[in-house]
Structure 1
Amino acid sequence: MTNSKTGVLMMIGACTIWGFSPLYYKLLVHVPPLELLAHRTVWSFVVFAGLLAVQGRLGALRTALGTVRNAATLGLAALMISANWFLFIFSVQAGHVTQTSLGYYMFPLVSVLLGVLVMKERLARMQWVAVALAALGVAQLTWGLGAAPWISLILAVTFGLYGLIKRNLKTGAVVSVTGEVALLSGPALLYLGWLHGQGAGVFGSDAVTTALLVFSGLLTALPLVLFSGAAQKLSMATVGLMQYINPTLQFFCAVVIFGEALTLYHTLAFGLIWLALALYSGVSLTQERARRRRSMTSPAEAPL
């Protein structure tokens, strides 16, 4: 099997796990979101640290956390991803998976805006049109519902900021995420210890709940490992396009499996954002092909 085919399968696997993850969190609706987040953090650290230990790469984790600057950067990234995880868990349990789906559809375009505002990147005209269409979708949804889709917006912004913060880190994806959950595991363990001291913790209350809580570590780690492997084998444009599998499956879970209401305003918002993503992705693919053609043409072969 070629590298590209392996990469595609790995990317499909990662996005499928992420996309159907609301089914898992619905099974734990009796666990408060903050407690579930704490367990996810701790068990994720166990899995990631174990993986690095098997690979003989625990030294890379010490290096990643060895300087104040790196540790501060990972700490800030950890705050963003933990906020994102908490809101996602809360939204699934509260029956707002449609909004989480919308948020992850919006995330690529929020990342584009952050790139323009913070990194001073420049966009092509059609990319600006795509951003405007997405903004129009959010605006009409806000007007129609009488309130902004805060869950979608916060999910998109926190995930966008998370990517922006990690942009200049030299450490790999698995090492950096291990560092993040390592920083969060201390407070998480303290919270869980306090909770059980009050007699309120659910861990150990029954075998199924306990097993599901432990499984949260693998559910977090496996798709990230698959995604990291796919990113090394596929072009960035392909990775970007295939990431839409995740919110599409979340949308399927929300509407078909959970039976969440889909208003006309939601339909219009999704339509405008899908159109925006199609335009932006088309421009990105064209730009990447142009870069490839330029890189394949050496100065000596270039026409006079």
Structure 2
Amino acid sequence: MPTVNPRRGYLLGLTAYVIWGLFPLYFKAIAAVPALEIIVHRVLWSALCGLLLLMVWKHPGWWRELRQNPRRLAVLAASGSLIAVNWLTYVWAVNNGRMLEASLGYYINPLLNVLLGMLLLGERLRPLQWLAVACAVVGVAQQVWQVGSLPWVSLVLALSFGFYGLIRKQAPVAALPGLVVETWLLLPIALGWLLLHPAATSSQAAFWSTSQALWLAAAGPITLVPLLCFNAAARHLPYTTLGFLQYLAPTLVLLQAVFLYDEHLAPSTLLAFVFIWIGLALYSVDAWFNLRKAS
């Protein structure tokens, strides 16, 4: 059994969530490339880098298990589609001045996971969890009432990532092989898109002599590095601790939106955040109490 090193786990976990939280800086650097084209290249370069990593970082038996359980391939195709929707929505939001909504979506996500567990997995919610989910619902509802429309970016991000996690539970494949298979299943669509769009920015020979081309090619390692850090951290930390660290990423996105990219934090949006933060605080307290009971 591998030695557990909490300090190493915290460092790896912080690294993963800080990188995820700083993703807007990367996507802003390639804002000249349309969001859909960025995702096409994210699939291409992630598939390539992931395959190279699998050749170095062995995961014995993962391909044999997939061959013996073809249903898992169908599950990974579905989860790959969801993560592509999540990536596309996030990149579009960052490069269209909707980072606050993106941040709100990832704050909502853990509370949505609790709700999905109840509705689809038959899990029973504890009183504090009910209160936490109710706060999230109130936050979204008041946003609809004040603004007059659903915060669709937030909801698409939260729902796509929430269902992604739910579906991946049905295919117990390690994170790296799972991501590699997901991206390889999306590869024909990505290549088909490039073939059908010869006028795309990245289809021009001149583009590959610019610094933007290097940034675009970096999509593979930038996608994989935080994932690897996260999975390494999970071996050294309780999952509940990782759950607390996950709030770091949307907080960094929120701070960048307001202080770096001058997005306006309207009172109605701030009120929605306040309700979500109260819900997350209740959720965290509930998780902490249950962790103490279990120990």
TM-score of the alignment, normalized to the shorter chain, above 0.5 = yes
AA partner of residue 289 (structure 1): R
Partner residue, 2:165: 163
Identity of aligned residues (%): 38
2-structure distance, mates of 1:5, 1:91: 34
AA partner of residue 73 (structure 1): V
Q: Which runs of 5+ in 2 are unaligned?
A: none
CA deviation map 1:223-280 (0-9, x unaligned)? 0000011111111110000000000000011111101010001111111111100101
2:276 matched to 1:260? Answer: no
Partner residue, 1:298: none
**Residue correspondence of structure 1 range 231-246 to structure 2 within 5 A:** 231-246=234-249
Q: TM-score, normalised by structure 2?
A: 0.95
Partner residue, 2:143: 141
Q: Over alpha carbons, which structure has the higher Rg?
A: 1
1-structure distance, mates of 2:266, 2:26: 26
Partner residue, 2:285: 282
Moved >3 Å (runs of 4+): 56-59
Partner residue, 1:115: 117
2:84 matched to 1:96? Answer: no
AA partner of residue 216 (structure 1): A
**Residue correspondence of structure 1 range 1-304 to structure 2 within 5 A:** 3-57=5-59, 60-61=62-63, 63-64=65-66, 67-195=69-197, 198-202=198-202, 204=205, 205=207, 206-292=209-295
Which 10-residue stretch deviates more, 228-237 or 199-208? 199-208
Cα distance, 1:41 vs structure 2: 0.5
1-structure distance, mates of 2:39, 2:60: 24
Cα distance, 1:28 vs structure 2: 1.2
Cα distance change of structure 1 residues 211 and 143 upon mapping to structure 2, 3 Å threshold: same
1-structure distance, mates of 2:228, 2:243: 17
Give yes or no for contact 1:88–1:100 (8 Å, CA) kept in 2.
yes
Q: Which runs of 5+ in 1 are unaligned?
A: 293-304
Cα distance, 1:59 vs structure 2: 5.4
2-structure distance, mates of 1:259, 1:200: 30
Cα distance, 1:200 vs structure 2: 2.6
2-structure distance, mates of 1:49, 1:10: 22
Cα distance, 1:34 vs structure 2: 1.0
Give yes or no for contact 2:40–2:190 (8 Å, CA) kept in 1.
yes
CA RMSD, 1 decimal:
1.5
Which 10-residue stretch deviates more, 219-228 or 61-70? 61-70
AA partner of residue 229 (structure 2): L
AA partner of residue 18 (structure 2): T
Cα distance change of structure 1 residues 92 and 213 upon mapping to structure 2, 3 Å threshold: same
AA partner of residue 106 (structure 1): I
2-structure distance, mates of 1:233, 1:52: 22
Cα distance change of structure 1 residues 185 and 59 upon mapping to structure 2, 3 Å threshold: farther
Give yes or no for contact 1:65–1:179 (8 Å, CA) kept in 2.
no
CA deviation map 1:126-158 (0-9, x unaligned)? 110010011101111111111110100110001
AA partner of residue 201 (structure 1): T
| 2:235 aligned counterpart, secondary structure | helix
| 1:202 aligned counterpart, secondary structure | helix
| 2:218 aligned counterpart, secondary structure | helix
AA partner of residue 92 (structure 1): V
AA partner of residue 80 (structure 2): A
Cα distance change of structure 1 residues 241 and 99 upon mapping to structure 2, 3 Å threshold: same
AA partner of residue 267 (structure 1): L
